[in-house]
Amino acid sequence: MRMRAAIAMVSAAAAAVFGTVPAAARSADTPPETYSYLVLTRPDGAAGAVLAEAVVRRAGGTVVQAYGRIGVVVAHGGPGFAAAVRGRPGVARVGATRTVPVRAAERSGGPAADPAEAAQWNLAMVHAYEAQRITEGAPDVVVAVADTGVDDRHPDLAPNFDAALSADCSTGRPIQADAAWRAPRSDHGTHVAGTIAAVRNGTGVVGVAPGVRIAALRIGDADVMFHGEASVCGFVWLAEHADRGLRIANHSYYNDPWWLLCPDDEDQAVIHEAVRRAAAYAAERGVLSIAAAGNADYDLAHKTVDSYSPDDAADRPARPRPVTDACRMLPAELPGVVTVAAVGADGRRAGYSNTGLGVVDLAGPGGGAGGEGVLSTAREGGWAHKAGTSMAAPAVSGVAALIASAHPAWGPAAITARLYATATRLPCAAPCTASGEIDSFHGHGLVDAFHAVRPGE
C-alpha cells in the first residue's frame, strides 16, 4: 500500500517511509518569569525519571538536569508549574528552590539555544543537551542518511553537509551529478537529517550531534519506493567510503514491494540475500547501521500474516498472505543492524510502533498518536513535526555519532555495546514481554546520550 498513512492510521496500514506529518512547526517563547524547581520522582528508578521529565515538558517546563539514580529532576518553569505537575505520573513531589525568578543568564536549554529548541522534547528526553556539554560531535565523523534524499540547501543542514560523500542510489547505481541526492518529492530524509545533526547556528532546531557531518544516500525513487537494488547500492557505497569518515548510517524505510521478504519465494529470497551481503560488507568495513522498526503495531517476533505486499502497483491492492518468522523486514531485521522502536513524549511505547522480543534493540523518541511529533528540518528551508519510528531511529544514530566522536577507534560492535549498556530501562507491562535485560517494546531501553558519552560510564 503506497499511501503515507496519518499517524492515527499506521496500525492499519504500513508505510515504507516510517513517518508522518501531523502538524507544522510552531515557535515557543520563554515564559516572562521562570522559576527553579526540584521534582522528586516516584520509586521506579530511571523509568520514573523518564515519566517525570515528560510531565515537566508537557507543563511547559524545561529539564535542566535529570538525576535518575537518585530520583531527582532539576526543572525550570513558570509560576504555575508546580501545580501543573504535582500528582502527575512519575512525580512524587515538587518544590520551588527560591522565591524569586531565576535570572535570564541562568535559564537552561542547553548550550546557546537555537530558536526552536524549546519545542525539541525529543532531545531533552535522550539527554542530548547534557551530552553536548561533553561533545557536540567531531567533524571527521559522518552520518549517512539512507532515505528519500536530503535537501543540503536547508540553513540548518548546509554547514554540516558533505556533498562528496553523498549520492543517489535509487536506480541501483550511485549518481552524484547535479545534486542527485536531493529528494524530488518527500522531505522525510531532510527531517531525519535534522534530528541527527542540524547545526547550532542561531536558526531553527539543533540535532543530537550538531558537530558531525551529514551525507545523503537517496534510496527512495521518484515514487518514494525503496527497492532492493537501491539498498544494495547504498550499503556498498557506505562500505567503500567508510575510510573517509562514514561510520554511522540511518535507515528509516523498508524494502519495497515486499514488506516481509520470505525465503520460499525465489524473488524475495534473492532480494534478501543481496541486501544481506551488501549490509555485511558495510559492517565489515566499520559502518554501524541503525534502522527504524516500522509503524504497523506488529510483533516482528511472531509473524503470522503480511497484509501490505506487494505495494508497487497502484491498480492492484496488496493481498494478505500467511507468513512465518523466517520472513524478514529489511533492513531492520538484518544481522548487526540496530533496530529502533518508538516512544511518545510521555515516555511510553508509541501505539503504532512495531515490537518484537529479540528484534527491537533500542527505543527512541518518535512522538505519539496524539499529534505530538518530533520537530526537525523540512521542505523549502522550513521545519515541521513528524511522528514515527523514522523519527526515533535518528535519535539513536545521533547518539551513536557522539560515541564515535568520543571514541575514534571504536567499531560497530563497541559502539553498539555502549548504546545498549547505557540505555534507560523502561517499564514492561503486558503485552510487553521481557527476557533478561531486554524486552519486546524497548529492547535494551531508551537511548541515553549523556550516559553514552560520559567518561567512566
Pairing assessment for the beta strands 142-147 and 246-251 based on DSSP bridges: parallel
Domain residue ranges of the chain, discontinuous segments joined by +:
35-106, 119-453
**Separation CA 236–CA 254 (nearest Å):** 17
Residues facing residue 107 across a β-bridge: none
- Spacing of C-alpha 264 from chain mean position: 33
Largest CA distance in the chain: 71
3-class DSSP assignment, residue 41? strand
Q: How many DSSP H helices and E strands does the chain contain?
A: 10, 18
**Separation CA 449–CA 74 (nearest Å):** 18
The tens place of each residue's pLDDT in the chain, 457 residues long, gives 232 333 333 333 345 677 654 433 333 333 458 888 989 987 666 667 777 888 887 788 888 877 777 788 888 888 889 999 998 888 999 998 888 888 765 555 445 567 887 789 999 999 999 999 999 999 999 999 999 999 999 999 999 999 999 999 999 999 999 999 998 889 999 999 999 999 998 889 999 999 999 999 999 999 999 999 999 999 999 999 999 999 999 999 999 999 999 999 999 999 999 999 999 999 999 999 999 999 999 999 999 999 999 999 888 888 899 999 999 999 999 999 999 999 999 899 999 999 999 999 999 999 986 668 999 999 999 999 999 999 999 999 999 999 999 999 999 999 999 999 999 999 999 999 999 999 999 999 999 999 999 987 6
Q: What is the pLDDT of residue 86?
A: 92
Q: Write out the CATH class of domain 35-106.
A: alpha beta
**Separation CA 251–CA 189 (nearest Å):** 10
If we measure between CA atoms, which residue out of 161, 182, 171, 189 comes closest to residue 237? 171
Pairing assessment for the beta strands 338-343 and 362-365 based on DSSP bridges: parallel
Neighbouring residues of 103: CB distance < 8 A, sequence distance ≥ 6:
none
Alpha-helical (H) ranges within 2-72 are: 45-58
Ordered DSSP codes for 301-342: TS--EE-S---S-TTS----EE--TT-B-TTTTSTTPEEEEE
Q: Let me know: does 395 contact 364? Beta carbons within 8 Å.
A: yes
Q: Write out the CATH class of domain 119-453.
A: alpha beta
pTM for the model: 0.85
Topology match between the domains 35-106 and 119-453: no
Neighbouring residues of 8: CB distance < 8 A, sequence distance ≥ 6:
369
If we measure between CA atoms, which residue out of 456, 391, 457 comes closest to residue 423? 457
3-class DSSP assignment, residue 256? coil
Q: What is the pLDDT of residue 372?
A: 83
